[in-house]
Amino acid sequence: MKKYEVEKIRNVGIFGHGGDGKTSLADAILFDTGMNNRMGRVDDGSSLLDSEPEEINRQISINAALAYYEWDKHRVILIDTPGDANFIYDAKAGMQVVEGGIIVIGANSGVKVQTEVMWGEANKMNLPRIIFINKMDAERARFAETVNDIKENLETIQPLPLQIPIGQEKDFKGIVDLLSNKAYIYEGDGSGKYQETAIPSELAEEAQGQRVKTIETLVEMDDALMERYLEGGEVGLADLYQCLKKGTVACKFAPVVCGSSTKNIGIHPLLNLINICLPSPVEREPRSGKNPRTGEEEQREPKEDAPFAASVFKTIADPFAGRLTLFRVYSGGISADTTLYNATKEAKERIAQIFMLQGKKQEPVGFAGPGDIVAVAKLKETTTGDTLCNEKNPITFAGTSPPPAVMSYAIRPKAKGDEEKIATSLQKLMEEDPTISISRDPQTKEIILSGMGQVHVDVVLEKLKRKFGVEVDLEAPKVPYMETIKKSVKGVIYRHKKQTGGRGQFAEVHFDISPLERGKGLEFENALTGMNVPRNFVPAVEKGIAEATTSGVLAGYPVVDVKVRFYDGKSHEVDSSEMAFKLASIMGFKKGAREASPVLLEPIMKIEVVVPEDNVGDVIGDLNGRRGRILGVEAKGHNQIVKANVPMAEVLRYAPDLTSMTGGKGSFAFEFSYYEEVPANISERIVAETQKEKEEG
């Protein structure tokens, strides 16, 4: 494979909301540049990039996919990213390793939620970007209205139209290039073939007016050029391109072009624009990281003779081929059969072969240098977020932190004995997708699978079955209720006496039982004074009480925040034993707990909901309806953060409700805060339901 100078390399991510045609655009680019001999299509499952069965069935991108092409002496690596909120982590991780982005927006739908999310991420990274208004051939497609929508909803960087469409909806057939003052009419059959013509007369006035505005914006990038322009001097196309590059790289504006990816209209001007105005690795700031040995910040410049450094941004798990690790090289270079140092894990890794990816096709390359995004197979220790480098010059780069999970299910295998297989299979999927989390609830003993939403969880289960042959059933996770007591009871006496022939069982225990402050757990006090109970039986009494607290008298939930004072009892020199005192203690504790006003406790979660200002009232009202207590509201940019304490039982399925309430613009995170007494009416219902489950089970 041909080696390119770093100045001729472009790494470009394609971002936007799901359904706006990002993958179709990538497929059209790969066809027009000769990297694919047919036009891949999402709707018939032939896309080069959406190749996983879960993607083909849903017709959405689930994973970030890589491809590359060569155009006008440049090599461009594309990262096609998911636009569904369930899989947004992959898009954010992909944005970390590119120098430029294409934001795809549907001309028939305008700016949508995930477009805003990824635009905000690009602003944080100061990422130069091009806006491609897609689906100009669709019903209700409107170019001017979409540009206005961009101006109103995508902040910080203003759109700069470089084209106007020729026709729209079913009549869309080409574009007017404002800078070159030319029109391009396409055949519209998917071939990408076009004719260069004069601007249609009916568009001449509009094109001229928009051209003047665009040129006036561009010449502001160069004082000398602006002065020449204002004095009526000639401004050439090369001058305009230079200003376009300068303004785009500086994030002063975002060039806007348009087309139809499925009809292959408007793709070739986009290819030229990527080369012209998106930066190469040398035109961006060197990547900064920390020396793990000194803690000092260091930089890695995109030079082949610099120490090698690369960031792992994605892992692909395959039960047959093994783990495939994708990384971006920032400095230095490596060849096949090399040993690298994982500075994150402090481990050495052997690099066998190096691949460039064309969809899921792996193409071997002998060398990877600055700006390259490549894959290697079967690394033992390395996972997403790690840094690979030269051991003598170690550095670690910050990765993309996975967002907190928003939906959880208890899972159990359909086949007996698959519990261990579930754990190992999910662990491999977690290497591929860090937004999956798995845990075991210590109280309910359930395996809890958490993800970014219902679609995400469904995809995880489909991958479990397809890749590892494991099938599971989903259940809503049980709320880990607890029990406690509200009043003290003195002089609880319980006698355990059993005669079954031969040696009998005898033990009598005297307790005082009292409540403790919340969070104190269980406290046992040995307050024996006389010799009625031999001291060697005290450990058995304590064990019995500890066992008794694992299942309360109301609904069988663990008992907490209770003190038991063991002050007296009776024994028999023949029939008393450790087992007898343990059984007496269990029954004595339960007897005392029933008399001590037992109550149910529920976990309370601290929740933070980030929503647009218009939705604050609805969210607060909804949280109040979930027995929540509002702690406050504070501003976060153009959004508001609503903070509240809410019972866990009320927010197990909060994600779809918030999405519905906010049109997908809300997000939330919660964590356990404390336990609190359940209201009496709700407690009665929970106890009744638990009793019914026991009877049925």
For residue 228 the two structure tokens come to 């020449």
| C-alpha triplet 454, 477, 453: angle, nearest 5° | 15
Rg (CA), the chain: 33
State residue 43's pLDDT score.
83
Region of poorest pLDDT, from 91-95, 383-387, 426-430, 565-569: 426-430
pLDDT digits (tens, 9 = 90+) for 233-291: 889 999 999 999 999 999 999 999 999 999 999 999 999 999 999 999 999 999 999 99
State residue 617's pLDDT score.
95
CATH number for the region 601-684 comes to 3.30.70.240
DSSP at 285: P
| C-alpha triplet 26, 32, 35: angle, nearest 5° | 75
- Would you say residue 14 has pLDDT above 80? yes
412-475: what CATH class? alpha beta
Distance CA 368, CA 362 (A): 14
State residue 697's pLDDT score.
62
7-283: what CATH class? alpha beta
Instruction: Spell out the domain ranges in the chain.
Output: 7-283, 288-389, 412-475, 483-596, 601-684
| Terminal CA-CA length for the chain | 65
Q: Classify each residue of 153-173 as buried b or exposed e, where b means 16 or more C-beta atoms within 10 Å of its C-beta.
A: ebeebebbbbbbbbbbeeebb
Region 483-501: what's the mean pLDDT? Answer: 91
Q: How far is CA 103 from CA 94, 121, 208, 346, 394, in A?
A: 13, 12, 26, 37, 35
Task: Give residue 489's Cα distance to chain centre.
Answer: 51
Task: Give residue 64's Cα distance to chain centre.
Answer: 12
Residue 549 or 1, more confident: 549
CATH topology agreement for domains 412-475 and 483-596? no
Quick one: which of 53, 57, 62 has its CA closest to 23?
62
Q: What are the phi and psi torsion angles at 584 (to 5°)?
A: -60, -40
State residue 160's pLDDT score.
98
Contact 314, 40 (CB under 8 A): no
Quick one: which of 348, 176, 171, 191 has its CA closest to 264?
191
Distance CA 508, CA 506 (A): 7
- Would you say residue 180 has pLDDT above 70? yes
- Would you say residue 379 has pLDDT above 90? yes
Which conformational region is residue 417 in: left (phi greater than 0), alpha (psi within -120 to 50 degrees), or beta?
A: left
Q: How confident is the model at residue 417 (pLDDT cuts 50, 70, 90)?
A: confident
- Would you say residue 694 has pLDDT above 90? no
Distance CA 331, CA 306 (A): 6
For residue 83 the two structure tokens come to 């636009």
Task: Give residue 404's Cα distance to chain centre.
Answer: 7
Region 403-414: what's the mean pLDDT? Answer: 85
Distance CA 338, CA 344 (A): 18
Q: What is the pTM of this model?
A: 0.82
For residue 279 the two structure tokens come to 């930066």
State residue 321's pLDDT score.
66
- In the chain, what percentage of residues exceed pLDDT 90? 75
Q: At residue 305, what is the residue type?
A: D
Distance CA 82, CA 68 (A): 18
User: Pairing mode, if any, of strands 437-440 and 629-636?
Assistant: unpaired
Half-sphere exposure of 578 (CA within 13 A, CB side): 6
What is the chain's length? 697
Contacts for 631-636 with beta carbons within 8 Å, 24 or more apart?
631/606, 636/610
Q: What are the phi and psi torsion angles at 98 (to 5°)?
A: -115, 160
How does DSSP assign 181-210, residue by residue?
TEEEEE--SSS--EEEEPPPHHHHHHHHHH
pLDDT digits (tens, 9 = 90+) for 609-648: 988 888 999 999 999 999 999 999 998 767 789 999 999 9
State residue 423's pLDDT score.
85
Half-sphere exposure of 301 (CA within 13 A, CB side): 7
Architecture category of domain 483-596 in CATH: 2-Layer Sandwich (3.30)
User: Pairing mode, if any, of strands 129-134 and 100-106?
Assistant: parallel
Quick one: which of 665, 603, 651, 604 has its CA closest to 623?
651
- In the chain, what percentage of residues exceed pLDDT 70? 99
Dihedral of the CA atoms 443, 445, 447, 449 (nearest 10)? Answer: -20
Q: CB-based contacts of 671: which residues, under 8 Å, 6+ apart?
A: 605, 606
For residue 57 the two structure tokens come to 């069935």
Q: How far is CA 208 from CA 200, 203, 220, 232, in A?
A: 12, 8, 19, 16
Q: How far is CA 234 from CA 224, 237, 475, in A?
A: 12, 10, 71
State residue 664's pLDDT score.
80
Distance CA 91, CA 666 (A): 18
pLDDT digits (tens, 9 = 90+) for 87-143: 999 999 999 999 999 999 999 989 988 899 899 999 999 999 999 999 999 999 999
- Would you say residue 525 has pLDDT above 90? yes
User: Pairing mode, if any, of strands 407-413 and 447-451?
Assistant: antiparallel
Distance CA 142, CA 105 (A): 11
Distance CA 124, CA 266 (A): 29
Q: How confident is the model at residue 501 (pLDDT cuts 50, 70, 90)?
A: low
Residue pointed to by tokens 């609805």: 618
* Mean pLDDT score across all residues of the chain: 93
Q: At residue 275, what is the residue type?
A: N
Question: Of the segments 268-272, 420-424, 442-446, which one has the largest average pLDDT value?
Answer: 268-272
State residue 601's pLDDT score.
95
Distance CA 444, CA 592 (A): 25
State residue 1's pLDDT score.
61
Other C-beta atoms lying within 10 Å of the C-beta of residue 439: 11
pLDDT digits (tens, 9 = 90+) for 205-221: 999 999 999 999 999 99
CATH superfamily of 288-389: Translation factors (2.40.30.10)
Residue pointed to by tokens 């879960």: 54
Q: Give the three-class secondary structure for 597.
A: coil
